[in-house]
Structure 1
Amino acid sequence: MTKDKRQLLEKQLQQMHKAASGLEWSLQRCQSLTIDALDAEGEEKFETLTARFARMSDILIQKIFRLVDELDLESPGTVRDRINRTEKKGLIDSARDFIVIRELRNAIAHEYEEEALANIHREVLRLTPLLLICPARIQHYIDRSRT
């Protein structure tokens, strides 16, 4: 691995861990809230959670999974290809779940209707734990591949 790739990897791993920490904190703040009866403070907490969910999914899918493929000398392919390879490497349990995460991330940016937002909030609560287990698996995979 070149020095530049190693530096990029370290930077992205740090970014991933920081994003995961913020996402976990936001998740804890939202788990006790009733989605269908949010006040302004609750809406703000969910706004933060969904933004952090979208950011974490981007960091994983667009940066980390891509860089892991590069380090493993895989051809780039599509986002779906990248997610499928990540499942085969054992970094995620289900490619299908990560396709749903990717679709949800896209919906977060484009949805404004209150009923749809409530459904997005439910899905974010359900899927966030899947994002949060990735950093440890990825770190383990990277550490193992370095030796």
Structure 2
Amino acid sequence: MSHSQQLLSQNIQALQNQHNWLERSYLICQNMPIGSMYTPEEMDALETLCARFSRSIDFLIRKVFRSIDDVEFENQGTLIDVVNNAAKRGLIESTDKMREIKELRNDIVHEYISEDIKGLFVEVLKETPTLLAIMHATIDYCARYDNQQVTNDDAK
């Protein structure tokens, strides 16, 4: 196994863990009533979901997609190039959808007013299944490079 494949394998294992934690947070929050007042426990759960969402999208694009490009000898230019390559592989629905998810991540990171963050909770809850599906598709796609052929279901 080449160094690039080893790095990809390590990144996929980390992505599997992130997938599982993001899914856990989503399951906790998905039936939460979206209202004007949250209990401290609900706010903690929603903020954890947002943090995991943000970390997952960053790791997916900056580490995993770039690792795939390296293994497949693709140009690793800009983030746009990396996302375009992921779209060509069928890992994402469209580059526009990935841009929306990335912009949501940026909104989460830069939101400081508690009233405004409530709107972000709705968007994160809406987009988390899409991100989980992208992560799952990426894990399955990369199984071809792992000698152990680990799949997303094996990681649970």
TM-score by length of 2: 0.86
Which residue is equivalent to 1:48? 48
Which residue is equivalent to 2:129? 129
- Partner-residue secondary structure (3-state), 2:92: coil
Cα distance change on mapping 1:71 and 1:6 into 2, 3 Å: closer
Aligned-partner residue type, residue 98 of structure 2: F
Give per-residue Cα distances to partners, 1:104-145, cap 9 Å, x unaligned: 111111111233201111111111111111233223322346
Q: What is the Cα deviation at residue 30 of structure 1?
A: 0.6
Unaligned ranges ≥5, structure 2: 148-156
Aligned-partner residue type, residue 24 of structure 1: E
Unaligned ranges ≥5, structure 1: none
Aligned length in residues: 146
Identity of aligned residues (%): 38
CA distance in 1, matches of 2:33, 2:143: 40
Which residue is equivalent to 1:78? 78
Richer in helix (by share): 1
Aligned-partner residue type, residue 46 of structure 2: F
TM-score by length of 1: 0.90
Cα distance change on mapping 1:7 and 1:123 into 2, 3 Å: same
Which residue is equivalent to 1:18? 17
CA distance in 2, matches of 1:25, 1:92: 22
- Partner-residue secondary structure (3-state), 1:99: helix
Which residue is equivalent to 2:141? 141
* 2:19 and 2:132 in contact (8 A); partners too: yes
Q: What is the Cα deviation at residue 6 of structure 1?
A: 2.3
